[in-house]
Amino acid sequence: MSTAAAHVPADARAAPRSAARPLLLTRGLSKVYDSGSAVVALDGVDLEVAAGEYVAIVGESGSGKSTLLHLLGCLDRPTRGEYWIGDAQVSTLGADELADVRNALLGFVFQNFQLLPRLSALENVMLPLTYDRGRRQVDPRGAAVSALERMGLADRMDHRPTQLSGGQQQRVAIARALVNSPPVLLADEPTGNLDSATAKEIMAVFDSLNVGGTTVVLITHSADVAAHARRVLEIRDGRIVRETRRGES
C-alpha cells in the first residue's frame, strides 16, 4: 500500500498552478446507462477547470449534472471520453489508483452531509486520513483538529452528528473534505438541506476557501448559490448548453 502514493500526480496538488494547463480536463466525456434501453446521462462533455476557479454547474434534475460531478469525483467511470486531473489520465486508472486520487486530490461535500452517525465530529474528519497511504499527514489528529478549527467547530469536536445543527454538520463534512488538503473541492448541492440563513453561512465558507486557493466545483439548482461562482455552466440533456463568466470581483 505504501507505493500507492506514486500514482498520485505530484504536480496536481501544487497550487497555485500555471494557467497554461487546466487542473481538470475532460474530452468527450460520456456516460450511458444501460438499463434495458440505453439512457444517455452525459453526452460528450468537454470541460476545462483551471486551478483556483470557482465553478457552479446548474441544471434541472435529470440534466446530467450529478453524473458529471460523480465522474469528476472519480466515483463513477465514463462510458466514453477522457478525463485528466493535472497530468494524470484518470479515466484509465484502476480501482486502487482511483481510490488514491479520491483520497489525495479530491474533497467531497454532499447534500445530506454523509457523516457517520456513530463517530464524533473529530473521528468523522479523521476518516480520509485512515486511507492516506502516502502518509502525507504526520499527525492525523492534529490535522483533523485544525481543519475543524478552521470551520469554527473547535468546541464541537467530540459531538456526534446528531448533536449538531445542519449547518454545523455540513461544516464538519467540509472539514473532512479539506483534511487531506486536496486541490479540488467538489460539492453536490451543499446547501440543499439547509435553511437560507445557514446556506449563506456555508457558501461564505466555500467563498473563503476559494479565495484561499482551493478550486471549487459545485452543483446546485439555486440561482443564489450559483451567484457565488465566477463561472456558471448550465447543463441540459447531458450537454453543456450555456456558460456564463462573471468579471473578476
Partner 1 sequence: MNPLALMALALQSIRQNWLRTLLTLLGIVIGVSSVIVMTSIGQGSQQQIVERMSSLGDNLLIVTPGSRSFGGVNLGAGSAGTLDVRDVQRLQQELRSAQYISPLVRLNAQIVGGVGNWSGSVQGVDAQFPEIRRWVVATGSFFGARETQARAPVAVLGDTVVRELFPDRDPVGERIRIGNVPFTVVGTLQAKGSSAFGGDQDDVVFVPWTAAQARLTGRLEVAQVMVSAPAASMLPDLEQEVRAVIRRSHRLNEAAEDDFSIRNQTEIMSVVSETSRALTLLLGSVAAISLLVGGIGIMNMMLVAVTERTREIGLRVAVGARPRDILAQFLSESVVICVTGGLLGAAFGMLVVWVLQSIVGIAAVVRADTLIVALSFSAGVGLFFGIYPARQAARLDPIEALRYG
Distance in angstroms between the alpha carbons of the first and the last residue of the chain: 44
User: Contact between 136 and partner 1 (CB under 8 A)?
Assistant: no
Using CB under 8 A, which residues numbered 173 to 232 contact partner 1?
A: 176, 180
User: Contact between 108 and partner 1 (CB under 8 A)?
Assistant: yes
| Count of residues interacting with partner 1 (CB under 8 A) | 25
Q: Which residue is it, cell 453561512? A: 201
Nearer to partner 1, 59 or 128 (CB): 128
Contact 50, 22 (CB under 8 A): yes
3-state secondary structure 38-74: EEEEEEEEEEEECCCCEEEEECCCCCCHHHHHHHHCC
User: Contact between 171 and partner 1 (CB under 8 A)?
Assistant: no
Nearer to partner 1, 20 or 95 (CB): 95
Smallest distance from partner 1 to CB 95, Å: 6
User: Contact between 103 and partner 1 (CB under 8 A)?
Assistant: yes
Contact 183, 13 (CB under 8 A): yes
User: Between helices 166-178 and 140-150, what is the axis angle to 10°?
Assistant: 130
User: Contact between 100 and partner 1 (CB under 8 A)?
Assistant: yes
Query: 33: which strand partners?
Result: 39
Cα(144)–Cα(17) distance, integer angstroms:
26
Smallest distance from partner 1 to CB 61, Å: 13
Using CB under 8 A, which residues numbered 48 to 77 contact partner 1?
A: 70, 73, 75-76
Provide the binding-site residues for partner 1, judged by CB under 8 A: 1, 4, 70, 73, 75-76, 95-96, 99-100, 102-104, 108, 110, 114, 116, 118, 127-128, 130-132, 176, 180
